[in-house]
Amino acid sequence: MSHEAQTCAGLIREANAIAVLTGAGISTNAGIPDFRGPKGLYITKKYDPDTVFDINAFYRDPEPFYAFARDFIELEKTIKPTFTHSFLSKLEESGKLKGNITQNIDALHQKAGSKNVLEMHGSFWTSRCVDCGKMYTYEKLKDHLITSPNVPCCDCQGTIKPDIVFFGENVKYFEESIQLAASVDLFFVIGTSCVVFPAAMIPSYVTGKIVVVNLSEVRLNASNVSLAVQDDIDRFFKEVAGYLEKENNEK
């Protein structure tokens, strides 16, 4: 077992309050490709994120986004939270983890049982008409995409857009995320390249210790990084959980 996992378990044990910032890397083991990882969309080019998730591109032509959305609803039926989503949910249940700030739109934190989830980039679970603002549920959107090849339209003929934050739109829960990050003594940065702003700024508000877990190197604008682990997230947290369990059994 690795020294880093043991150190991380020690930091969790000593911490009074923990929070996390997660990115697409926490969900790759669930089968959802990230953007910038080795099998990410910028590499495979299955979709071009700069077009699919750009708000002006969406207003000009929502078709490329809806090609992605059709694939997403198929994937969503089968995806399950990863080991690390569940690990974080249990840590929240224990009272130590105060909240999860996520850039993800897959709702896997909630599926794992996490309660306090700040979805900075929104989610698919609600949609709105871009013209009249009428709200639609995920079920409604899904029904439309399954039964019609057309872009979903409102009764007023406006285009329906999921409440995902596109490039060029304001993020959600920014103030709440900063407050959470500044309020804890241990902060995890998990599975994010930390290049998408303003989410990438969140670690700079942390005054406690920071632990980074990511396959590739992450450059943070923060001097308080106690541990930077370059490893598969689930492999690493399984080891951490092993150490925590061992310590509990020895008590």
Options 12, 20, 21, 37; binder of ligand CNA; rule CB under 6 A: 37
Assigned token pair, 108: 């896997």
Q: Closest CB to ligand CNA among 15 and 105? A: 105
DSSP secondary structure string, 128-181?
Answer: EETTT--EEEHHHHHHHHHH-SSPPB-TTSPBEEEEEPPBTSPPSSHHHHHHHH
CA 216, chain centre distance (Å): 17
Residue 32 near ligand CNA by CB under 6 A? yes
Q: Vertex 34, ends 28 and 36: CA angle to 5°? A: 130
**Binding residues for ligand CNA restricted to 127-166, rule: CB under 6 A:** none
3-state secondary structure 71-111: HHHHHHHHCCCCHHHHHHHHHHHCCCEEEEEECCCCCHHHH
Q: How far is the CB of 88 from ligand CNA (least distance, A)?
A: 14
Number of residues near ligand CNA (by CB under 6 A): 27
Contact (Cβ atoms closer than 8 angstroms) between residue 85 and residue 104: no
**Binding residues for ligand CNA restricted to 209-248, rule: CB under 6 A:** 214-216, 232-233
What is the spatial distance between Cα 89 and Cα 56, in angstroms, rounded to a whole number? 36
Q: Is 121 a catalytic residue?
A: yes
Residue 208 near ligand CNA by CB under 6 A? no
Q: Closest CB to ligand CNA among 153 and 201? A: 201
**Binding residues for ligand CNA restricted to 171-190, rule: CB under 6 A:** none
Q: Closest CB to ligand CNA among 145 and 218? A: 218
What is the spatial distance between Cα 121 and Cα 105, in angstroms, rounded to a whole number? 7
Residue 4 near ligand CNA by CB under 6 A? no
Q: Rg (Cα) of the chain, in Å, rounded?
A: 19
Please identify which of the residues 3, 85, 109, 121 carries the catalytic annotation. Answer: 121
Q: Closest CB to ligand CNA among 56 and 148? A: 56
Q: Closest CB to ligand CNA among 159 and 214? A: 214
Beta bridge partners of 119: 102
The residue sitting closest to ligand CNA, measured at its beta carbon, is 25
Site for ligand CNA, rule CB under 6 A: 23-25, 27-29, 32, 34-37, 40, 103-106, 121, 191-193, 195-196, 214-216, 232-233
Active site residues: 121
